[in-house]
């Protein structure tokens, strides 16, 4: 019997990562030691593991830099249309391993670090996740997330491109036009992060902006009081980029948040226009630039409404500074901008008070008023006398205070509007923007979300990636539809066994991680039932809790009966101000406390709550999942991407017909997912007739027992009324109708148990899901955006080293 392979030996076996050449290994070792010595100023006697991580990061970064510079040179030479994706959030996770894989350096680095007597996996674990957003994999925490405490080896500050951003002030009408004067200025300092393509020599740029105060003061010129005041002012200005507002899917009209949104937009647009003016083939007239070709050279994608101010800001630049007439400027703006909607929840839509705009961005308020005036003139001409339609379609909502509807601004000011899954895009057309769709149906599109198979298969699940490559080659990494070929092996016993073994290895690895981090032992033979996403009522973690307690009660009722063992793992973050979300977390942990310590239950049921769920933790848990919980109320989840990650990694989905689940069921066959519950039309019908939670409570005895246990303090013996708010919400004002899907959900979970008893059939179903996940590659998504919205053709060109002609892929 052969001895088990070490992690290092396993990683060396991964065929799809390339083979380490001896020269590469020698060069990487040299570079590593050089950086340890010259960059970190340490030797092996005093270096810490963090120093070793930084030395490796700098070594890998060295391999990026030449490609990064060549990419920019190539773009300057060819002057292609540039796509600018404006977002307040980017969930980057860690960079080191992703970069090694994309550059084809993984095995060489692994071997070099091994020869240096270090463990590369330990070094990879030291890297902090980039804290660049809220939401499912980002930051929704009240504790400081100081991910930059030790510096960031991947970013490059660009102080030479620092730009002024204006706030406050007043608007002045002069003979030469409108001027925005007496403003307060904050400087925007760009920080660039390289984003490498997969083995194609392309390295694009993510540009982030940091706020810097413009106050240059000299201690001798101030008395102490003024000096202190100046320092405080400086801090106030720099607060803009110090912390991102943590509430996600809930709008809070705070001045700092509006400042952040304008800060990003204003700096980015100045940058875009500077680049357009300096283009090799652009108009370099020193007096006046022609903006006729601007939409042919620039596309701006607005990721939700957070960067919506790009529309009035671009108008301000074109009209006030570049002196275009209004109509021409409006045409350029609309043809340049496109808008992606990400939510249908009304409380998440941004509606900024007029008085805040008037104070902070007075010129932009004037521009929005004029956009609205012309927009409503057009609507009135199309629908004479329909005042109610004018009210519904206005950018300005009446009330006290009046508010600007930023989603309406995005729709009116963009040439394309898209949702992120087919069902979501239909809801957008039929409800959220119904009036706008009736006027301009050609503007509305669907672009179903996708995930990158490089991070979400090759990086996080190398065993599965290697197994797939053995069967169908490794082209699936850039053409995920090739996974369909796996269906040819659906009846091959050895392949079924190999797929099951990879999953079991991943489960054992994750169980070991939980034991180390949480000091909890779980049964690797149990169903790993995973529910990881933001904590929100519409995502219905509560429905999962009701099943957990129901299962617990069944074990307690009949302890000698055989039950399929299950480990339920829930993770996610709650917005700081979201009381109910926090109570849901409290309930999950309280239920876990009781169940995990009940000797009658043993290892047949365990409940684990994952702390600080983030990209790097997702990379560990997703490959280990047997069951993926995607159980939002139909019609509430825009798309989801976690559902796709689980599917690609061989988990089966239990879910409603919501978001991308609908298309996943189409691709894999609905019979290969555990679909349950109300459809969108059922929810709509129930909204009309009324949802009565008590009716379900009284009719379903198992549900009634669960609710009574929560209500009477069974899971909170020291504080019997701890969860009264949760029960009150479920019984009296549950917008997301948890009880209505309870019975169907429990029945569906019973189907899960039955299939799990048949490992071969379970694994064959897994293979069908993996084979059906090709549609959900971000490569497909971006290609569709490129062709249908940005008006560019995706290219297979490999950017060459200097003095070499471009190489076209021969696929």
Residues acting as catalytic residues: 342, 533-534, 539, 641, 645
Please say whether the beta carbons of 252 and 245 come within 8 A: yes
Local structure of 774: helix, strand or coil: helix
* Sheet strands (E) in 225-364: 298-303, 337-340, 351-353
Tokens at 226, concatenated: 């003024």
Label residues 615-642 b or e (16+ Cβ within 10 Å = b).
Answer: bbbbbbbbbbbbbbbbbbbbbbbbbbbb
Tokens at 366, concatenated: 């004037």
Alpha helices in 278-401 (DSSP H): 294-297, 310-316, 326-336, 354-360, 362-382, 387-393
Taking alpha carbons only, the member of 262, 374, 342, 359 closest to residue 308 is: 262
Local structure of 100: helix, strand or coil: helix
Taking alpha carbons only, the member of 130, 126, 125 closest to residue 152 is: 130
Label residues 26-65 b or e (16+ Cβ within 10 Å = b).
Answer: ebbbebbeebbeeebebeeeebeeebbbbbbbbbbbebbe
Give dist(CA 752, CA 756) in Å, integer.
6
Please say whether the beta carbons of 600 and 555 come within 8 A: yes
Taking alpha carbons only, the member of 644, 643, 645, 574 closest to residue 611 is: 574
Long-range contacts of 390-394 (CB under 8 A, 24+ apart): 392/435, 393/435, 393/436, 393/439
Taking alpha carbons only, the member of 51, 210, 50 closest to residue 132 is: 210
**End-to-end Cα, the chain, rounded Å:** 43
Local structure of 146: helix, strand or coil: coil
DSSP character string of 155-219? -EE-GGG-EEEEES-EEEEETTEEEEES-EEEEEEEEEEEEE-SSSS-EEEEEEEEEE------G
Taking alpha carbons only, the member of 776, 741, 684 closest to residue 427 is: 684
CA dihedral of residues 574, 578, 580, 584 (deg, nearest 10)? 10
Please say whether the beta carbons of 569 and 610 come within 8 A: yes
* DSSP single-letter state for residue 134: -
* DSSP single-letter state for residue 451: B
- Taking CA 87 as the corner, what is the angle to CA 451 and CA 787, rounded to the nearest 5 degrees? 60
Give dist(CA 777, CA 663) in Å, integer.
13
Q: How far is CA 352 from CA 237, 247, 316, 322, 407, in A?
A: 21, 15, 19, 28, 11
Give dist(CA 227, CA 219) in Å, integer.
7
């Amino acid at each position: 019997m052969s001895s088990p392979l070490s992690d290092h030996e396993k990683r060396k076996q991964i065929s799809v990562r390339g083979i380490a050449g001896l020269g590469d290994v020698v060069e990487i070792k040299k570079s590593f030691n050089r950086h340890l010595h010259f960059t970190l100023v340490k030797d092996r006697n005093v270096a810490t593991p963090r120093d070793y991580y930084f030395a490796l990061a700098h070594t890998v970064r060295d391999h990026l830099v030449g490609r990064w510079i060549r990419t920019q040179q190539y773009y300057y030479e060819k002057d292609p249309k540039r796509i600018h994706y404006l977002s307040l959030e980017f969930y980057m996770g860690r960079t080191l391993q992703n970069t090694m894989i994309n550059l084809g350096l993984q095995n060489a680095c692994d071997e070099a670090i091994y020869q240096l007597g270090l463990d590369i996996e330990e070094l990879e674990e030291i890297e902090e996740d980039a804290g660049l957003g809220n939401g499912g994999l980002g930051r929704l925490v009240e504790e400081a997330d100081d991910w930059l405490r030790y510096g960031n080896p991947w970013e490059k500050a660009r102080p030479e491109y620092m730009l002024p951003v204006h706030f406050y002030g007043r608007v002045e009408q002069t003979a030469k036009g409108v001027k925005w004067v007496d403003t307060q200025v904050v400087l925007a300092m760009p920080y660039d992060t390289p984003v490498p393509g997969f083995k194609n020599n392309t390295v694009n740029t993510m540009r982030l902006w940091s706020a810097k105060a413009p106050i240059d003061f000299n201690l001798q010129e101030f008395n102490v009081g003024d000096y202190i005041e100046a320092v405080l002012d400086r801090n106030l200005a720099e607060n803009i980029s110090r912390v991102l507002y943590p509430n996600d899917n809930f709008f809070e009209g705070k001045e700092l948040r509006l400042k952040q949104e304008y800060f990003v937009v204003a700096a980015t647009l100045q940058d875009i226009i500077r680049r357009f003016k300096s283009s090799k083939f652009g108009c370099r007239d020193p007096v006046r630039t022609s903006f006729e070709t601007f939409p042919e050279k620039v596309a701006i994608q607005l990721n939700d409404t957070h960067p919506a101010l790009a529309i009035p800001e671009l108008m301000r630049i074109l009209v006030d500074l570049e002196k275009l007439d209004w109509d021409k400027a409006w045409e350029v703006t609309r043809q340049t901008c496109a808008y992606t909607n990400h939510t249908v929840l009304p409380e998440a839509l941004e509606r900024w008070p007029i008085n805040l705009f008037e104070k902070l961005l007075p010129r932009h308020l004037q521009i929005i008023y004029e956009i609205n005036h012309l927009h409503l003139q057009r609507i009135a001409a199309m629908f004479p006398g329909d005042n109610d339609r004018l009210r519904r379609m206005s950018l300005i909502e009446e009330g006290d205070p009046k508010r600007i509807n930023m989603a309406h601004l995005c729709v009116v000011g963009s040439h394309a509007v898209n949702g992120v899954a087919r069902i979501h895009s239909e809801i957008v057309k039929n409800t959220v923007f119904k009036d706008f769709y009736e006027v301009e149906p050609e503007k509305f599109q669907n672009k179903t979300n996708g995930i990158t198979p490089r991070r979400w298969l090759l990086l996080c699940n190398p065993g599965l990636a290697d197994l797939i490559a053995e069967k169908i080659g490794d082209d699936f990494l850039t053409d995920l539809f090739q996974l369909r070929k796996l269906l040819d092996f659906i009846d091959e016993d050895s392949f079924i066994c190999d797929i099951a073994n990879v999953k079991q290895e991943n489960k054992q690895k994750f169980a070991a991680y939980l034991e180390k981090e949480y000091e909890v032992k779980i049964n690797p033979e149990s169903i790993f039932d995973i529910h990881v996403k933001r904590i929100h009522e519409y995502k219905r973690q509560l429905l999962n809790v009701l099943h957990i307690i129901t299962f617990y009660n069944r074990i307690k009722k009949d302890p000698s009966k055989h039950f399929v063992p299950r480990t339920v793992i829930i993770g996610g973050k709650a917005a700081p101000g979201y009381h109910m979300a926090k109570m849901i977390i409290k309930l999950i942990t309280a239920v876990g406390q009781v169940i995990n310590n009940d000797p009658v239950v043993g290892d047949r049921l365990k409940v684990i709550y994952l702390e600080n769920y983030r990209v790097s933790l997702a990379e560990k848990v997703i490959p280990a999942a047997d069951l993926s919980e995607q159980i939002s109320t139909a019609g509430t989840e825009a798309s989801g991407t976690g559902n796709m990650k689980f599917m690609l990694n061989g988990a089966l989905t239990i879910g409603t017909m919501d978001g991308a689940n609908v298309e996943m069921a189409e691709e894999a066959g609905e019979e290969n997912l555990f679909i349950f519950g109300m459809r969108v039309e059922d929810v709509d019908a129930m909204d009309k007739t009324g949802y009565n939670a008590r009716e379900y409570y009284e009719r379903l005895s198992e549900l009634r027992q669960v609710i009574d246990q929560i209500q009477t303090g069974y899971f909170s013996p020291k504080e019997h009324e701890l969860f009264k708010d949760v029960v009150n919400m479920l019984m009296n004002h549950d917008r997301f109708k948890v009880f209505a899907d309870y019975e169907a959900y429990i029945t569906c979970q019973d189907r899960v148990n039955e299939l799990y008893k048949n490992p071969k059939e379970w694994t064959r179903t897994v293979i069908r899901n993996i084979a059906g996940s090709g549609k959900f590659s971000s490569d497909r998504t971006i290609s569709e955006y490129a062709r249908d919205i940005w008006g560019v053709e995706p290219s297979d060109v490999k950017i060459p080293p200097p003095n070499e002609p471009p190489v076209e892929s021969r696929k």
